């Protein structure tokens, strides 16, 4: 158990809809990273927050957005969903300045 909690574990929705994925980091971790994992693309970095502020952006679509709240939990919002958005979405957190990320169990999104 990494200590990183993600909800929901599974989500099925239709094209054009909007969903919100939630992540609670390990106690004391200030950084939250979001990754997308699809079959043919591996783990793709989307965005990072540190102590409530956006710190780095990766391959995140304009239809996607994220935020980190004062209690350090984070939400990833995916809108105008397309079939290709079906994937596993992982949240990961880092303690201090090490390079080590600890991943949650992921949210599996299926867009029909």
Give CA torsion, residues 78, 79, 80, 86, to 10 deg: 20
Query: Which x/- pattern, by CB under 8 A, does the window 14-53 give for another protein?
Result: -----------------x-x-x------xx-x--x-x---
Least distance in Å: CB of 16 to another protein? 27
What are the residues binding another protein (CB under 8 A)? 2, 4, 31, 33, 35, 42-43, 45, 48, 50, 55-56, 58, 90, 92, 96-106
């Amino acid at each position: 158990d990494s200590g990183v909690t993600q909800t929901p574990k599974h989500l099925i929705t239709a094209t054009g809809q909007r969903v919100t994925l939630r992540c609670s980091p390990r106690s004391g971790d200030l950084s939250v990273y979001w990754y997308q994992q699809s079959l043919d693309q591996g783990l793709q970095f989307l965005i990072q927050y540190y102590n409530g502020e956006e710190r780095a952006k990766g391959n995140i679509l304009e239809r996607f957005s994220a935020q980190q709240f004062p209690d350090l939990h984070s939400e990833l919002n995916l809108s105008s969903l397309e079939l290709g958005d079906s994937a596993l979405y992982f949240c990961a957190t880092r303690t201090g300045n090490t390079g080590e990320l600890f991943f949650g169990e992921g949210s599996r999104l299926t867009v029909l």
